[in-house]
Structure 1
């Protein structure tokens, strides 16, 4: 966790790791870094939310490589220690029993075969049953609908991580 005042005044290379752990979208990281100092954490979060609306699908798809599948600990790309901590915390409600793991694995495979990218959901506060239900519902969507939902979910995860990473 970084104090807000430190975030506002630290060198760019010192805040980049925190922002990268929120989401690997360089344009978002650059904008949030360049706009410092912020009047409040809420001002920072508001700009972060606003900037997330302009993400391109290419940026989102690249960022997805840094997210492990729901129910798994490893992403396609090596996670930083902070990213791994965020991910573990967010997926704390996911049961680790064999039946749940198998259902998530099968759902993830079906989703990836249909859409070509991982199933992403802001898992914080959700149970395994809620996640599995959402996965099954989202498998019914068309590609454009699902891209929109993934964009929303990725932004929600990034904002949650940012709010948890900055201490007022």
Structure 2
């Protein structure tokens, strides 16, 4: 069974390098990750794009991961005017003030310990689930946390890549 061609993926494959790189940067702030995906175009299908993303993510250095994480706002504080972070963190939108205050405190403690924001694939998670995750992960070693972050970034990238290749052509 053959799948129908994906017009969004075809558009991405055919776009100018600068436009494709800008789109990839919106998915993941790591320039190394974006460059690796750009270099492998064209992609036969979305799964090939996902595999390239996963492979590039696995190769990122600690510095590359730091660059990728710098593109993410803290949980509970999406960037104003950024529909992506607002959508991904929607589980915190209806959280109580007490939960939001607790998340802020936990975010700061996490950032003090690890030197970067607490990163989790927040899509579909409630505020309580995110709070429980930061509580659980704050006791990890930096090495353990770096690999968890790598996995979480990979999940986020797949969601964002899906949106990238499924969005309607802009007029």
Q: Which residue of 1 aligns with 2:40?
A: 35
RMSD, aligned CA: 1.7
Q: CA deviation at 1:12?
A: 0.6
Q: CA deviation at 1:96?
A: 4.2
Q: Which runs of 5+ in 1 are unaligned?
A: none
Q: Which residue of 1 aligns with 2:101?
A: 102
Q: Which residue of 2 aligns with 1:126?
A: 125
Q: Distance in 1 between matches of 2:142 and 2:32?
A: 25
For the residue of structure 2 that corresponds to 1:53, the secondary structure is helix
- Structure 2 contact 111–117 (Cα < 8 Å) conserved: yes
For the residue of structure 2 that corresponds to 1:3, the secondary structure is helix
Q: Which residue of 1 aligns with 2:86?
A: 88
Q: CA deviation at 1:31?
A: 1.8
Which runs of structure 2 are paired with 1:14-25 in the superposition (5 Å)? 14-25=19-30
Q: Which residue of 1 aligns with 2:4?
A: none
Q: Which residue of 2 aligns with 1:154?
A: 153
Q: Which residue of 1 aligns with 2:136?
A: 137
**Deviation readout 1:56-93 (Å, 9 max, x if unpaired):** 1101112222110000023xxxx9x7xx2221111111
Q: Distance in 2 between matches of 1:6 and 1:63?
A: 25
Q: Distance in 1 between matches of 2:77 and 2:118?
A: 12
Which runs of structure 2 are paired with 1:111-122 in the superposition (5 Å)? 111-122=110-121
Q: Which residue of 2 aligns with 1:60?
A: 65
TM-score of the superposed pair, with normalisation by structure 2: 0.87
For the residue of structure 1 that corresponds to 2:43, the secondary structure is coil
Q: Distance in 1 between matches of 2:37 and 2:115?
A: 30
Q: Distance in 2 between matches of 1:39 and 1:116?
A: 38
Q: Distance in 2 between matches of 1:142 and 1:31?
A: 29
Larger relative contact order (Cα-Cα within 8 Å, sequence gap ≥ 6): 1
TM-score of the superposed pair, with normalisation by structure 1: 0.88
Q: Distance in 1 between matches of 2:21 and 2:100?
A: 34
For the residue of structure 2 that corresponds to 1:93, the secondary structure is helix
- Structure 2 contact 33–53 (Cα < 8 Å) conserved: yes
Number of aligned pairs? 160
